[in-house]
Structure 1
Amino acid sequence: MKVLSFGSLNIDSVYKVDHIVTPGETQLSFEINENCGGKGLNQSIALARAGAEVYHAGMVGNDGDILIKKCLENGVNAEFIKKTKGRSGHTIIQVDKKGNNSIILCGGANRCMTEEFIDEVLSHFESGDFLILQNEINLLDKIIGKAYEHRLQIVLNPSPFDDALFKCDMSKISYFILNEIEGRQMTGKTTPEEILKEILLNYPESKTVLTLGEKGSVYKDKNDFYHQDIFKVKAVDTTAAGDTFTGYFIASLIKGLNIKECLSLAAKASSIAVTRNGALDSIPTLDEIE
């Protein structure tokens, strides 16, 4: 069983600050680092480090060799990464002394997907394979529709949440993996219980994993419910914690672990990730977790 991560590849500029800048404020950063990132790339590398056979599909600009190299160094198949004109996707990230972050995202090459490219990529995958998606690329609705025709198992992390998601046929999603904020944006509900109930009401065949920060995470489908506590650590940077969780949960699922085991492994992985600076460099290997 193969995994296709169809998603973003970004070059991240990370600024360490005392606190997240407020409107009208100028603040001196005491450290800056440039890293490879993007939710798509983060999830691909998390999947690979968790032991999955993962292919990444996406687009990079003229500056994208470093992103392709990062995939290959981490065991991610890069044959479906295409170069286009202009710049790759990039972000400006503030990280405060408590580990909280604030992100400005510019899509760049990530917004250059075409239907022809989507068709070409999906032709290499078959029924039962997993497709991992987030919302940092264009034509998400087309990818979902075409992947459903190929009978892929579609996993959606609806982040960042914007109007493009309302064009998507969410009934075709096999797994939703989202945090509380995204859950509220998607359903209009406020509590975890209400969010899960609303998703299941609208999409009864879907399975949902809702991450709850310090309260852990929960899983819900039409038959089962599970809760997973966090593993308490001192956080220094939460940038790729959600992507790490997604990658490890899906990789564990593919290996045949039960839901409780998948949640536990994903929680352990993300707890390690938040103790480290950066995005990709913070994602642990399976050996570290074990």
Structure 2
Amino acid sequence: MAQSDRRSLSGPLSFGLVLPLLIIFLFVFCWPIIKLLGVSLFDPAFTLDHYREVLGNDFTQVIFLRTFRVSLLVAALALLIGYPIANLMRSSPPFWAMVIGACVLIPLWTSVLVRSFAWTVLLQRNGAVNAILQSLGITNAPLSLLYNEIAVIVAQAHVMLPFMVMPIYQSLRAIPDELPRAGLSLGASNLAVFWHIILPLSRPGVLAGFLMVFVVSLGAFVTPALIGGPSSMMLATAISTEITEKFNWARGATLSALLLIAVAVLLLIFSRFMQLNKLEQK
């Protein structure tokens, strides 16, 4: 039997290679979070007053509910738009799949700030959307399309669309072509094949994309600040206001900690759900 040519690294050498990454992780990620929790819990002694005040404040509760509602709707809209795009990429020839993928991914090369400003141009009173609506006779006067939750949902869904399309596309690519063909050959309709074969097998990608878009939208700052305005303030904007305008670091840190805890809980639930899903498939 031929011996393997692979060489295993010694323990100290492996640790030395991983050490730079570990240092970066500790000082760039862990240490700021520890400091954040410390500011929210120690003022200067240990106290939970900041959490009681934030959780008991009606205005803060409205912001939390709005943030979760808008993020959920953003993920749902991105799923409705992204799934057909991913399915079209899967069923297209390689060249056209590459073109569609490029159209999805190229906006990632553009700053979120630029894309958000583009939506303000489109949705303003003398923008392209109002001009089209008036030219078609749908409206007689310009509509107020900016600075509301609907505008935030549409613009944020556009920003998050690549993060929805690519996980779904990878799940669809993993489905063997023989399975849909077998369903069609046995007399099933295209809708039945999609509902009973393609959609269940693509569920991991759907869940991963939905969770990614939802979690990232929870902490979105640029798009809600530019498109939503004060009447549609979300949690990231509220945190920025507390720290940069009111200089209330304790309250800003408390809001950030609560958002971090909520995201951690969602990730744990998703991880547990995926484990159960794998057990069911086995």
Could you state the TM-score of these two structures normalised by the residue count of structure 2?
0.24
Q: Which has the higher helix share?
A: 2
Looking at both structures, which has the greater relative contact order when contacts are Cα pairs under 8 Å and sequence separation is at least 6?
2
Bigger Rg, structure 1 or 2: 2
